[in-house]
Amino acid sequence: MRTTHHLFSCATLTLTMALPITLHAEEKVELNPRVQPETIRDLMWVWATPSHTKEGEHTLATWAEANAVQKMQLFNLQNVMMCGAGLPDNDEEAIQLTESALSANRMVWEIAGDDGLHKPPFSYKKTAARVRRMYDKYPKIEAVLLDDMTSLSVNAGFEAKHIHAIRDELPDSYLDVKIWGVVYTMNMRQPKVDKIIEALDVVNLWVWNGRDLADLEEHVAFIEDLEPEKPIVVGLYLHNYGEGKNMTLELHEHQCTTALRLAHEGRIEGMVFLTITNNEEITRWTADWIAEVGDQQIGEP
């Protein structure tokens, strides 16, 4: 899994800022109370990795190396997750990168602990202070993301208490900032992960091994059974990183159409497209598919 993070700092880092309490069925967290999505396109995100960007113009053939804005433009989407190394620990650089993607309607920033990614003691005091400053300046930042949380971080000692500690650093005026966490289906049943999922505001669910995509709906159902009112945002890899090979068009079409159906059914509240490996067949199919289904009204396939 270390390869996952070095490749694309894998999957998503969104921090919901709320009080450290247990949510009951009648206390459902809203993904973003300031935004009311109407179409499927409103639920779609691109995963941007600034450290992997190559300068210059890009096409669907080089989508993996495009910057955040180019990725959005090529897929005709407006929501971005800024990931990879996470929110820089330098305010000037953090502002510069955020400014570069301000054309987005919605933005999520991955965050790392004060001592770096996946490193104890998992203190977020300095990071949370930076998140507060950035949110004050850019209120479209609606969440922070904890990437590789149930894999690399858990293996290093990360627990639910660390999520609660992040929230303790965010006063009530920052409750609109949500905490998202990347949850991999392959380890979501491991000890302590259930408490971590409970502590999150939003589950960013990823299927690492392509062979497990056939059971995508069952993976979503597991989270639904564990935390019935927890918002779920499904990650959609455009490369089969778990098995070290290209994503087949058949598997990709299956995961996309399954996610679309689940979105219409109200079972998931978003989908994220991610790859740092170019595959024009897959990215072109994805762009065409988004053009076909993106304007569907949610709940009206």
Domains detected in the chain: 2-19+36-293 (3.20.20.60)
pLDDT score of 16? 34
- Mean pLDDT score, 20-46: 71
Is pLDDT of 15 > 60? no
CA–CA gap between residue 197 and residue 255 (Å, rounded) = 22
Q: Which residues contact 90 (CB under 8 A, 6 or more apart)?
A: none
pLDDT score of 7? 47
How many CB atoms within 10 Å of residue 227? 18
CA–CA gap between residue 146 and residue 142 (Å, rounded) = 14
Q: pLDDT tens digits for 162-198?
A: 999 999 999 899 999 999 999 999 999 999 999 999 9
- Per-residue confidence at 20, pLDDT binned at 50, 70, 90? very low
Q: Where are the alpha helices (DSSP H) in the chain?
A: 2-8, 68-75, 91-100, 125-137, 154-155, 160-168, 193-199, 216-226, 249-264, 280-293
Q: pLDDT tens digits for 220-278?
A: 999 999 999 999 999 999 999 999 999 999 999 999 999 999 999 999 999 999 999 99
- Respond yes or no on whether the N-terminal peptide bond of residue 121 is cis (omega within 30° of 0): yes
pLDDT score of 282? 98
For the chain, what is the mean pLDDT?
A: 90
Q: pLDDT tens digits for 201-223?
A: 999 999 999 999 999 999 999 99
Q: pLDDT tens digits for 70-119?
A: 999 999 999 999 999 999 999 999 999 999 999 999 999 999 999 988 89
pLDDT score of 29? 61
